[in-house]
Amino acid sequence: MTELPARVSLREVGPRDGLQNEDPIPTAAKVDLIEALSATGLRRIEAVSFVHPAAIPQMADADEVWTGVRPRDSVRYSALVPNRRGLQRALAAGFVDLEVVISASDTHNRENIKRGTDESLAGLPELAELAHAGGATLQLIVSTAWGCPYEGEVPVERVLRVVKQGVAAGVDSLAFGDTTGMATPTRVTRLVGEVRAAHPDSPIGLHFHNTRGTGLANVYAALQLGVDDFDAAVAGLGGCPYAPGASGNIATEEVVSMLEDMGVETGVDLEALLEVAGMAEAYVGHPAPSQVLRAGPRWKTVPRPPAD
């Protein structure tokens, strides 16, 4: 059996990615959610997105949310930035971990940010330069890395072309998003292998959705390759507003439950996380897709039936 990483780094994306496809919730609730997640042992949290309110109304209060949060020294908080203006806002707010998303699918990129993939890539060197000048890192997240709801199959070669230009632009790390849950373990193995072969020094993170039920299987496939950096969203919330049918991210509590039982440390208190998952479910006002939230941790038992 392939030796798995001893520990993984989880980035909690519920406060941003998890809420962007929901009806807007109050600013105070977002602040409470971020602070509650910060107390579970998570060490990385994607807190807000500095996008134009007309594009993603759910993120219109990003500045107010971040002003209300009392950051913990033990947690690194990141922000998504779509363009120069968003990056400047993030730097002004004090963020030092920034992310920019570019779709490998041109159609999805146009739906998402009203620009073609090549147009977005052309602006990437300036964003990396501005981020570094402001003392921040910039991660390139390649979305639709395993398929597009509009174009269908996305060739690995197209993903590699985006990666090559991102690395040349000076991004600090790479992440790959399964925007509509089209990845399967063999596809994960191929893409990760080809990216590593072409760019062996670039750190890689993976962002899976469970749209078609393969999320945790994809995590396991990546673990066998030594990948130790994953995104997940509390309660399995999330989805892309510009990807029809893209249901939730893999649930953080499901990932933690599986990994800890496999002897892979996450540093996260599962029972505390489940309490926050219940909080998140109440805030969005509908049942969340997380199975571990429904069933509880694997050590949960019920009273034995009385003896006859």
Residue whose structure tokens are 């806002």 = 89
Q: What is the DSSP letter of 242?
A: T
d(CA 201, CA 45): 24
Q: Could you tell me if 259 and 229 are in contact, meaning their C-beta atoms sit under 8 angstroms apart?
A: no
Helical packing angle, 185-198 and 215-224, nearest 10°: 40
Which helix H or strand E contains 166, and what residues bound it? Answer: helix 156-169
Yes or no: say if 273 and 253 are a contact pair by the CB < 8 Å rule.
yes
Residue 262 near residue 4, CB atoms below 8 Å: yes
Tokens of 236: 């399995």
What is the rounded distance in angstroms from the CA atom of residue 62 to the CA atom of residue 89?
Answer: 10
> How far apart are the C-alpha atoms of 11 and 70, rounded to whole Å?
18
Cα–Cα distance, 211 to 168 (Å, whole number): 32
Q: Name the token pair of 214.
A: 């393969």
**Structural contact between residues 189 and 225, judged by C-beta atoms closer than 8 angstroms:** yes
Active site residue 148: no
Under a CB-based contact definition with an 8 Å cutoff, are residues 235 and 251 in contact? Answer: yes
CA dihedral sign of residues 176, 226, 164, 153: negative
Single-letter amino acid code for the residue at 11: R
Which structure tokens are listed for 301? Answer: 């038992």
Out of 240, 243, 259, 280, the active site residue is 240
State the catalytic residues. Answer: 240
